[in-house]
Amino acid sequence: MNIIRVHGGHAIEGDVHVSGAKNSALKLMAATLLAPGTTTLTNVPNISDVHVMGKVLKGLGATIEVADEHTLIIDTSAVDSWEAPYELVAKMRASTAVMGPLLGRFNRAKIAMPGGCNLGARKIDMHILGLEALGVQFDTDHGYIHANAPEGLTGTMVSLEFASVGATENLIMAAVRAQGTTTIDNAAREPEIVDLANMLNEMGAKVSGAGTPVVTVEGVEELHPVVHQVIGDRIEAGTFIVAGALAAGDRGVAVTGFNPQHLGMVLKKLELMGVSYERVNGGVRVWRAEHLRPVDIQTLPFPGFPTDMQAQVMVLSALADGNSIITENIFENRFMFASELVRMGANIRIESHHAIIHGVERLSGAQVVSPDLRGGAALVLAGLVAEGETDVSAIHHINRGYERFVDKLTGLGAQVERASIPDPLED
């Protein structure tokens, strides 16, 4: 069994450069389906989710050349299938991102129900309702979603019940090839959506309002391939910023390669907790907080506090002087991480979608299991300041979204290593 072993109590300092954004790269890869020809994506993170999406595109008929570790040359000229292979797309929820581009290119798509982290129901009702308004007919059976627009896609007004990132992205990617104009009301505003809209516009699309609650898409006849750079990963950046707040030495930890404005609410909450930081070129420098203050947090769509940073900040709250409350409004199972942190000595009580955290003086190393992508990374962070050794298993979750996570931490001076131990479930 592969684990990440953390030896606690060692200060970290230095510089760390974050990779391209996972949640942007996956959707940009899907969007290449809309422009037959060769699109080049740079600053692509080398993570397992990107590898899976690459296999999905190849299964549809695309060819992918890895020019270097972070550059993909994707040729979608020969794509002739609208059926995404079940064994791949069932692995991650981002699989649904190919539905919009396939509908835009072929007016039909067959997609497996989404998988990924076990964070709760993967409701795609808003995707379906929005695309139905564009003229798509849906049928579901045997774990597949069949989508068909026999009369083609037609622009219209779509109002989303919730500012869903996935639904907004799928609607934008389908609408760029629809007849007429589509207006998406209550659209998600995440930076990754702005990145997608920017690339589509470079391809010849007419998308306006990305990053605001109202996005307008004027359909075009065709799109052309481009060269596009993926934005930096704000969640990876936030993870290393929390690492610095927990364990940075006198020089602090400089986290670069991202836009600090993309972490506005996170930085505001960290400041309220007593974390000191300063802006540097392309990022921020953060120092260890001597006395952490409690904080109340509610996860909300951007520009609110991101659900993907909730677990990392819970580690800080677990060591704060007082009681904190974290309210999870996005994923109902996101608190699975809390029970693992309790094994390390944290005092956390879960009540429905609230976590009540009573700060303790110290954490203790333990054997813990990564419950999901962000929770796994947060457990490694907890191990940095825990007494003794912490072994984090089920690290495949971490590999889905963090490139060279252990290497980057050791580059800062952390005593972290990958190791293999006997699986206790095997004879």
Tokens at 202, concatenated: 């470079």
Query: What are 232-288's pLDDT values in tens digits?
Result: 999 999 999 999 999 999 999 999 999 999 999 999 999 999 999 999 999 999 999
Residues of the chain with CATH 3.65.10.10: 1-17+231-418, 20-219
Query: What are 146-182's pLDDT values in tens digits?
Result: 999 999 999 999 999 999 999 999 999 999 999 999 9
The DSSP line for 132-169 is: HHTT-EEEEETTEEEEE-TT--B--EEE-SS--HHHHH
> In the block, which residue shows the tokens 């420098």?
285
User: How do beta strands 227-229 and 38-42 pair?
Assistant: parallel
- State the catalytic residue, choosing from 94, 117, 176, 215: 117
Tokens at 125, concatenated: 């009702």
CATH 3.65.10.10 fits 20-219, yes or no: yes
Give the pLDDT of residue 395.
96
Count of Cβ atoms closer than 10 Å to residue 68 Cβ: 9
The DSSP line for 80-131 is: ---B--HHHHTT-GGGGGGHHHHHHHHSEEEEEPP-SS-SS----HHHHHHH
Query: What are 327-375's pLDDT values in tens digits?
Result: 999 876 778 899 999 999 999 999 989 999 999 999 999 999 999 999 9
CATH level 3 topology of 1-17+231-418: UDP-n-acetylglucosamine1-carboxyvinyl-transferase; Chain (3.65.10)
Give the pLDDT of residue 424.
62
Statement: residue 184 has pLDDT above 70? yes
Q: What 3-state DSSP class applies to 202?
A: helix
What is the layout of strands, in order, in the sheet containing 296-298?
A: 296-298, 323-327, 354-358, 347-351
Contact yes or no for 277/285 (Cβ under 8 A):
yes
Count of Cβ atoms closer than 10 Å to residue 294 Cβ: 18
Tokens at 350, concatenated: 């879960």
SS3 content of the chain, % helix, strand, coil (to 5): 35, 30, 35
Give the pLDDT of residue 115.
53
Query: What are 24-57's pLDDT values in tens digits?
Result: 999 999 999 999 999 999 999 999 999 999 999 9
58 is in an annotated binding site: no
Statement: residue 116 has pLDDT above 50? no
330 is in an annotated binding site: yes
Statement: residue 121 has pLDDT above 70? no
Tell me the mean pLDDT in the region 205-220: 98
- 318/316 Cα distance (integer angstroms): 5
> In the block, which residue shows the tokens 């072929």?
106
Statement: residue 1 has pLDDT above 90? no
Give the pLDDT of residue 122.
46
Query: What are 280-324's pLDDT values in tens digits?
Result: 999 999 999 889 999 999 999 999 999 999 999 999 999 999 999
- 50/22 Cα distance (integer angstroms): 8
Query: What are 66-113's pLDDT values in tens digits?
Result: 999 999 999 999 999 999 877 776 676 667 889 999 999 999 999 877
Query: What are 367-418's pLDDT values in tens digits?
Result: 999 999 999 999 999 999 999 999 999 999 999 999 999 999 999 999 999 9
Statement: residue 205 has pLDDT above 60? yes
Statement: residue 129 has pLDDT above 80? yes
Q: What 3-state DSSP class applies to 2?
A: strand
- 419/392 Cα distance (integer angstroms): 10
Give the pLDDT of residue 118.
44
23 is in an annotated binding site: yes
Give the pLDDT of residue 422.
81
CA 189 from centre of chain: 14
Give the pLDDT of residue 384.
98
Q: Is 120 a catalytic residue?
A: no
Residue 121 or residue 104, greater confidence? 104
